[in-house]
Amino acid sequence: MPSTRKRETKDGRIYYEITVSRGRGKSRLTRRWYPPEGWSRKAIERELAAVAAEFERQSDAGEAISRSERREREALEAAEAAKILTFRQYGERVFMPAKAVTMSENSRANYQGYLDKKIYPVLGDIKLPEITPAQISALLLSIQSEGKAHSTVIKVYTILHSFFKMAYLNDMIDRNPMDKVERPKPRKDEAKATEPSAYTATEIQTIMASVEREPLKWRALVHLLIDTGIRRGECCALQWKNIDFKTGAITICGNLCYTKQKGIYLDTPKNGHTRTVYAGADTIALLKRLRVEQAHKAISTWVFTQERSPDPMHPQSPTRYFKKFGEKYGIEDFHPHKLRHSFASIAITSGADIASVSEALGHSDKAVTLRMYTHADQESISRASEILRKAIKNAGQA
């Protein structure tokens, strides 16, 4: 049975130290768990028990190991790597197992898909030291010539860059061929597609008017996405305990994901940090009604559930629903992530500060928000010019 002890960091942050004993001859394992701010004692105790139980399971299964055991494992992996010859062998035995430790399951599956479909068929059977910059450039050019999106080509480039860097650091190759491979540039017909697509405030009003004819669950979900800018998986991961109906504060502490290998599973938010967003009165009112309606069908801890089931909604269900909704009401390119872009675009062009928008979106770096969303429409350009003229005029009168 794991033991837990409440402790405090030097800067005053509270955390719990979880310790698991593994029997005679093996060192104990410890892990820290930081409770989200604002949680009640009962909520902390409940979640701490769940985290401790999962840590014990990982220990029993050999998934959680000590530092010394990790070093031994890495030494064995390095010895195994010395026997590897081809690109595919290194990818299967070293590169992807290493990435699986640091990546989310969703990202790992994404990497694996690109390797299986785009990279292994071309480079898989070639010995690592024999792969040349020309072969890599030819692969990237081939993908680009197929008409694939620029983001696809860049993803392949990124994976290859990481792959050969690891192989070089592991002494599998004496030079890194990616040093002589130029980052692919977009095709001319893609050069202008640099800004994320977003709806205008008028288009959002049309969407909200249309969704009034839809079932309550979907009305609440669409309003929530518009109102807060949260991600699709974060929305599906919401539990009733995450919502403060008095203040409108909603704690984003989970992300519901799906892969073919793992099925549906609960992960942390994309940047790994809990955050708080705020929903307006109309959205909170819809969520209250949804809770009452849901209770008549199946009691659940989840806000958005499968039909007549307490299980959470499949994280891909909103995308499928949005496609049908868009076709039904004539709304072009309607998908959940576009509402996230719209939240940021409308907020920024209406005067919201970047820091607040970045925090609401859950970006780990404000530069991401700046890079993705600080495009201006004609109205905001005109307003910026007027602000400049007023500033100059006022300075002359001082």
* pLDDT above 90 as % of the chain: 55
Query: In angstroms, what CA-CA distances link 269 with 38, 112, 232, 358?
Result: 18, 21, 11, 14
CATH 1.10.443.10 placement within the chain: 201-379
Structure tokens at 286: 């819809």
Please name which of 364, 239, 357, 251 lies closest in space to residue 305, comparing C-alpha atoms: 239
Structure tokens at 199: 């709806």
Average per-residue pLDDT for the chain: 86
Residue 193: its pLDDT value, please?
47
pTM of the model as a whole: 0.58
CATH 1.10.150.130 placement within the chain: 68-190
Q: What are the residues whose beta carbons fall under 8 Å from the beta carbon of 290, sequence distance 6 or more?
A: 216, 217, 220, 303
Give the residue, 333 or 290, on which the prediction is more confident: 290
Looking at domain 201-379, its CATH architecture is Orthogonal Bundle (1.10)
Cα–Cα dist 235/312, whole Å: 10
Q: What average pLDDT does range 130-150 have in this prediction?
A: 92
Cα–Cα dist 44/63, whole Å: 25
Structure tokens at 186: 């977009």
Residue 45 has pLDDT above 80, yes or no: yes
Q: What average pLDDT does range 191-210 have in this prediction?
A: 78
Residue 42: its pLDDT value, please?
92
Q: What average pLDDT does range 146-155 have in this prediction?
A: 89
Residue 17 has pLDDT above 90, yes or no: yes
pLDDT in tens, 251-289: 999 999 888 878 888 888 877 788 999 999 999 999 999
Residue 102: its pLDDT value, please?
83
When pLDDT is cut at 50, 70 and 90, the band that residue 392 belongs to is: low
Q: What average pLDDT does range 40-51 have in this prediction?
A: 92
Residue 72: its pLDDT value, please?
86
pLDDT in tens, 341-387: 888 888 877 777 778 888 888 886 666 666 655 554 455 555 555 66
68-190 to CATH, choices 3.40.50.720, 1.10.150.130, 3.90.550.10, 3.40.718.10: 1.10.150.130
Cα–Cα dist 114/118, whole Å: 5
Residue 226: its pLDDT value, please?
93
Q: Rounded to 5 degrees, what angle do the CA atoms 129, 134, 136 make?
A: 75
